[in-house]
Amino acid sequence: MAEAGIDGVVESLNEAQREAVLTGASHNLVLAGAGTGKTTTIVARIRHLLKQGVPPERILAITFTRRAAAEIRSRVAGDLAGASSQVAAMTFHGWAMREVRGAPDVFGYDGWSVIDQDDQQQVMRGVLGRGKRVEGLKATQILDVLSFAHNTRRTLAQAIRVKLPEMSVDPKAIGEAVRAFELRKAERRYLTYDDILKVFAARLADPEVAAWVGSHYEEILVDEMQDTNPLQWQIIDPLVPHTRFYCVGDDAQSIYGFRGADFASIHSFAERVPGARVLKLEDNYRSTQEILDLSNWLLEESPLGYDKKLRAVRGKGAKPELHSFETPADEAGFIAAELLRARADELPWATHLVLVRSNYSGRAIEARLVENDIPYVFFGGVKLLESAHVRDVLSALRVIANPDDEVAWMRLLTLVPRVGDVTAARAFDAFLAARDGGASASSARAEALKGMPAWLAAGLDAIEDAAQRVDDAVGRAAAMLQPTLAHKYRNENWEARARDLVHVERLAATRANILEFLEEYILSPIFTSEMEPESQQDHVIVSTVHSAKGLERDWAFAAGVSPGSFPSARALGDTDDIEEERRVLYVALTRARDRLVVTRTMTHTPVGAWVGSISQQVSAAQGFVEEAYFLNALPERLVEEIPHTLPRPSRPAPPPELSGPGEIDLGVDLGDLE
């Protein structure tokens, strides 16, 4: 590797970052604390490899979101635009899909289509409605257990015990439903997110396939390594002998255990990957030292021993604030008032980030923002391709790309006026019968659409003609359905929805075929908020903590940091779950640059909802929850504590002469019914 004086890309890095960029080890794990320049280091490593003569197509960056991949590609460009434009950055699922689609002879599943979570739920609901009902469980719950089994490489029985420990369910009934779901997927040539990884991993178990795939890359960089799960490790392990891995992560930000992420794997990296070197980044460029002192203290309280102490390059600032309220409504009112006060001081709305525990827990805050006309975006929010009107249009493309796609057929046909589920199902059955009789997909489609409006068959034929020009196909589908959709969404802001369809057409312009287009934005979704022009992006960001990694703002409000929420009452009794809860709070505390405001309610906590309504249970659980509360032992020196709770005046005792009788007749006078 080049020395710093030769390689200009490292000149602006600190010593630890420079060492991480120039490392010559065959495999590397960089433990990068919050705000320590993780992305900067990854980008510098890629640019360094390019300067060393590594061909850009032999470098692969794996991220956990499309947004992170786009940021890496953008920042790599710099003065290396020509070469860096060929550096691939994508999610694990995107990578697996690229390999599978690129070599159908090796991986199979040519022409199968990827279905998102909504479509999976529809398929599972169909299974449950056809006699495979599971008492007490919804389709979403069964799919959650199934996904957990796949990602943790557990049996379904083991996953049921982990995910549904307190529910009285019939495991065999779940198994039967899952088997029927899998059969339905195979019949309709569907792949789920997890299936894509499983296909890739299964073929990599063949040493010759692993050697062939590994030979494509000089180095694979993996971001957010702490969030990898056993299924993803099943992809990494067989490639280790055939390429270099450069992994970056933070053990203190591992917060996806509920999805199967394996927190322990980052600690065993050096043992698991022969020849690996572990490096650390601890100089924080984001926050002031006072904010980091609170975050460092939280980790020091853990029995796990994170051996992490972040140092603020920016130096000192204001102490974090800890505000206590009577009710969530009071808490929400305070946050809204602070935002309005800052606006009066001419601070942009985009100065602020409000972090909540869940979408549900953020509703009181959202209500106050709406009441006060404070512009905000719920980070993540609606995925563009999951919006109802976009899914309507894409259903027409899907029946062309995968003629067996029953979900797409049903959605498309029921858009036709006066066509309901029964008529649509008959048309699809006619299509299948024609296919079984040897008809081509287009001939079977014509047979199935007899009796339907002529515009539908003509429109699908036109889309099929444009299948290799995906933006044209999207435009034809939108034009075919425009009158129907304009009527359907006439009272639901149709003008804005129509603009979304223009965005979809633009996104499709560079894709080679319909399946490639659908898969890219299903596996790495784009959100409607990302389509806004920059002039409309001055708004407060509201986000769940789990969606907030990578976010930072000058002011951050960590809301609802109350007993019963940190740790969650449901985590009590499980050390691993409690420690993941600690890491969730750590992520929240490390989002602020200048001002960190922690808010909590001290008299209204989730404990009652958790244990039920029996007063003795609530009282006992309340004590247990308060004892486990992360901020119980918080040193006064670390925060500016500001209570907003008022002491309740005691009621005056009645004088003795007002003492009432020992018993009152509570019976009703029956009158003449006696």
CA angle 240, 245, 249 (to 5 degrees): 125
Residue after which a domain boundary falls, among 253, 281, 309:
281
Sign of the Cα pseudo-torsion (395, 399, 401, 405, in order): positive
In a domain, 251, yes or no: yes
pLDDT over threshold 80, residue 422: yes
Q: Pseudo-torsion of CA 396, 402, 405, 411, nearest 10°? A: 0
- Check the annotation: does 35 bind a ligand: yes
User: In which region does residue 37 sit, left (phi positive, over 0), alpha (psi from -120 to 50) or beta (all else)?
Assistant: left
In a domain, 412, yes or no: yes
| Domain of residue 495, CATH code | 1.10.486.10
Pairwise CA distance, residues 587 & 252, whole Å: 8
User: How many other CB atoms sit within 10 Å of the CB of residue 565?
Assistant: 25
pLDDT over threshold 90, residue 639: yes
- Check the annotation: does 37 bind a ligand: yes
Residue after which a domain boundary falls, among 257, 281, 305:
281
Q: Which of 8-12, 75-79, 132-136, 219-223 has the highest mean pLDDT?
A: 219-223
pLDDT, position 8: 65
363 with 229, same domain: the answer is no
167 with 243, same domain: the answer is no
- 259 contacts: CB under 8 Å, gap ≥ 6: 147, 148, 151, 229
pLDDT, position 615: 44
In a domain, 669, yes or no: no
pLDDT over threshold 70, residue 530: no
Closest to 476 in 3D by CA, of 461, 488, 497: 461
388 with 516, same domain: the answer is yes
In a domain, 463, yes or no: yes
Mean pLDDT of the chain: 88
Longest dimension (CA), the chain: 108
Please state whether the peptide bond connecting residue 567 to the residue before it is cis, i.e. omega within 30 degrees of 0.
yes
- Check the annotation: does 39 bind a ligand: yes
Cα distances (Å, whole numbers) of residue 606 to 203, 323, 370, 409, 600: 46, 18, 25, 44, 12
In a domain, 343, yes or no: yes
- 96 contacts: CB under 8 Å, gap ≥ 6: 196, 197, 199, 200, 235
Q: Which domain holds residue 509?
A: 384-525
In a domain, 120, yes or no: yes
30 with 281: CB under 8 angstroms?
Answer: yes
Exposed, middle or buried, 671 (CB in 10 Å: 0-12/13-18/19+)? exposed
In a domain, 667, yes or no: no
Pairwise CA distance, residues 467 & 456, whole Å: 16
257 with 219, same domain: the answer is yes
351 with 453, same domain: the answer is no
The structure tokens listed for 429 are: 């059955």
234 with 15: CB under 8 angstroms?
Answer: no
pLDDT, position 575: 87
Cα distances (Å, whole numbers) of residue 93 to 55, 201, 585: 23, 11, 28
413 with 424: CB under 8 angstroms?
Answer: yes
pLDDT over threshold 70, residue 330: yes
- Check the annotation: does 32 bind a ligand: yes
Question: In which band, very low, low, confident or very high, does the pLDDT at 645 lie, cut at 50, 70 and 90?
Answer: confident
pLDDT, position 180: 95
**Residue 48 identity (one-letter amino acid):** H
Give the residue, 599 or 82, on which the prediction is more confident.
599
436 with 353, same domain: the answer is no
392 with 412, same domain: the answer is yes
Give the residue, 648 or 140, on which the prediction is more confident.
140
pLDDT one-digit tens code per residue, 452-483: 999 999 999 999 999 999 999 999 999 999 99
pLDDT, position 618: 41
304 with 353, same domain: the answer is yes
- Check the annotation: does 172 bind a ligand: no
Cα distances (Å, whole numbers) of residue 574 to 93, 140, 304, 568, 638: 31, 25, 14, 11, 28
Q: How many domains does the chain have?
A: 4
pLDDT, position 656: 80
- For the segment 330-343, the average pLDDT, to the nearest whole number, is 96
pLDDT over threshold 80, residue 396: yes
43 with 34: CB under 8 angstroms?
Answer: no
**Residue 326 identity (one-letter amino acid):** E
634 with 602, same domain: the answer is yes
Residue 503 has, within 13 A of its CA and on its CB side, a CA count of 21
273 with 315, same domain: the answer is no
Residue after which a domain boundary falls, among 167, 188, 209:
188
- Check the annotation: does 33 bind a ligand: yes
In a domain, 405, yes or no: yes
91 with 232: CB under 8 angstroms?
Answer: no
pLDDT, position 2: 39
511 with 403, same domain: the answer is yes
pLDDT one-digit tens code per residue, 270-319: 999 999 999 999 999 999 999 999 999 999 999 988 888 999 999 999 99
Pairwise CA distance, residues 532 & 377, whole Å: 11
Bridge partners of 642?
A: 323
pLDDT, position 6: 41
- For the segment 406-415, the average pLDDT, to the nearest whole number, is 94
81 with 61, same domain: the answer is yes
User: How many other CB atoms sit within 10 Å of the CB of residue 69?
Assistant: 20
pLDDT, position 382: 60
Pairwise CA distance, residues 471 & 77, whole Å: 27
pLDDT one-digit tens code per residue, 170-192: 999 999 999 999 999 999 999 99
Consecutive H or E run containing 221: strand 219-222
pLDDT over threshold 70, residue 621: no
Q: Which residue has the tokens 């529910």?
A: 167
- 575 contacts: CB under 8 Å, gap ≥ 6: 303
- For the segment 18-45, the average pLDDT, to the nearest whole number, is 95
pLDDT over threshold 90, residue 549: no
- For the segment 366-389, the average pLDDT, to the nearest whole number, is 82
| Domain of residue 27, CATH code | 3.40.50.300
pLDDT over threshold 70, residue 3: no
pLDDT one-digit tens code per residue, 232-260: 999 999 999 999 999 999 988 888 887 88
pLDDT, position 647: 67
